[in-house]
Structure 1
């Protein structure tokens, strides 16, 4: 196989998930898809895809070809895009995946500003409550907040972000202000479901002293804006990112609890699948993104 179009064709099958979906995506007939796949397999004298009427599965050889081939195609695209960029500025598409709330409040304006400055760049922004999934590697940049689980992705620091325990003034008129993290176990709490984490186990430390407390919750949601609104309405205690609650704390809508105890930080980072070979447009967007949150992020300004 010496034609990158064959690799791109196989990657399209992988991403589409079926030969019929591949045909729709490419605007050709399913029989044409099947015939081209058979031609590639004959050239390599290797079966790449096991297909039946109900399912499609890449063989070990097909999977390896897609993994290595995707890297080679990206390097080739990067080479040509960098050459074009020397003449016409940044071109191509940047695919970004990010958390819902942070994406709406802060990232959307960054994306808009970058695209306006670079009109030949297309940006596809996808917001989700689970930015880190197995499909994350199909994006150029994944924005993540918090501790990074084991991953092959490469991280770039964007902004510091603490996590604060908060409740509304109205809530604190009905319930005692907690003095230690253990007191939270006896208070109504609201939890945010995200990233498949154990969301009701809250951890703190003060100096060398560490505490873990299992909170009880009658309200939970996968959208941080919703739990922040519930907290402002006096429905319970939340453990939430500084970027989300700093304004409400400053305005008095929320009160920070347990200021002497620190929850684990949840810094904002950007992830890419490779450190080397990134297209010029991706590198420039990363620099633009980092610059927008320096020297201090807006929630600390």
Structure 2
């Protein structure tokens, strides 16, 4: 294997999930894709992909080649991006994945402005309710909110973001204001399903004191806008990011509960593949993104 095209070909098969889908993406016939794969395996003297009627599975050799090859391709592209930038400016495609609500409200405007200032860059934004469960290798940047699980990605701080317990004034008038986290268990609550977390276990701290409360949630959704609207309608208590509820609290639609107790922060981060060899367009977007949330993020202005 002496051509990066072979690695790109194999990575396309992995991203597509099937030879037929890969053929569509490559603009080839399925038989041509199969033949090229066989030639590549013959050249390397190893089977790379196990092909059955029902599924396509990479062998250990194929997996190793994809993992190591993806790093090489990224460095290769980064080198030529930097050379191109020196000559003509920023170019290429930037693929970004982000949570639904935050992506719509705060990230989309930033991306629109960035692309307008850098017209030779194409930006592909994907919004998801579970961005970390997506195939992260498909994206140059993954925006994440909250605690970061173990990952080989490199994280960059974008903005601070607290989490507040909130409810509508009408609900509090009917059921009373809770004085401690334990009292939340008697109130109707609404939860956001995301990232396979235990969403009905709410945790709080006050100094060295810790409280964990199992709430009763008869309403749940994977879209934060929906649960916030339900809360504004007085249907239950929510535990939600500051970026999402700050406006409603300021307007009196929601009331912050238990201000003396602190829920775990859910700071905004951007994740990239690695520190070395990151394309110029990715680095410049990261700097642009960070600048838009400094010195304080929009929800604290």
Quote the Cα distance in structure 2 between the aligned partners of 1:7 and 1:61: 13
What's the CA shift for 1:234?
0.6
Q: Does 1:82 align with 2:50?
A: no
User: What CA deviation, in whole Å up to 9, does each residue of 1:168-225 have, x standing for no partner?
Assistant: 1111110110000000000111111111000000000000000000000111111111
- Where does residue 119 of structure 1 map in the other structure? 119
Aligned to 2:25: 25
Alignment of 1:52-71 (within 5 A): 52-71=52-71
Task: Write the deviation string for residues 135-168 of structure 1: whole angstroms up to 9, x where unpaired.
Answer: 0222000000000011111100000000000011
Q: Which runs of 4+ in 1 moved over 2 A?
A: none
- What is residue 73 of structure 1 aligned with on the other side? 73
**5+ long unaligned stretches in structure 1:** none
Say which SS state the counterpart of residue 177 (structure 1) adopts: coil
Number of paired residues?
Answer: 301
Report the equivalent of 1:104: 104
Structure 1 residue 134 displacement after superposition: 4.6
What TM-score comes out, normalization by structure 2 length?
0.99
2:248 corresponding residue in structure 1: 248
Residue 41 of structure 2: aligned partner: 41
Match of 1:300 in 2: 300
In 1, the alpha carbon distance for the partners of 2:53 and 2:169 equals 61
Per-residue CA deviations over 1:18-61 (Å, capped at 9, x if unaligned) read 11111111111111111111111111111111112222111100
1:214-229 residue pairs with structure 2 within 5 A?
A: 214-229=214-229
Q: How far apart are the structure 2 equivalents of 1:223 and 1:19?
A: 34
RMSD: 0.7
1:145 maps to which residue?
145
Residue 176 of structure 2 corresponds to 176
Match of 2:233 in 1: 233
Q: What SS does the aligned partner of 1:132 have?
A: helix
Partner of 2:130 in structure 1? 130
Q: State the distance in 1 between where 2:299 and 2:72 align.
A: 40
Structure 2 gap segments, 5+ residues each: none
TM-score, reference length from structure 1: 0.99
1:185 matches 2:188? no
Task: Give the equivalent residue in structure 2 for 1:208.
Answer: 208
The alignment status of 1:159 with 2:174, answered yes or no, reads no
Structure 1 residue 248 displacement after superposition: 0.5
Matched, 1:92 2:92: yes
- Partner-residue secondary structure (3-state), 1:172: helix
Distance 1:115 1:280 in 2: 14
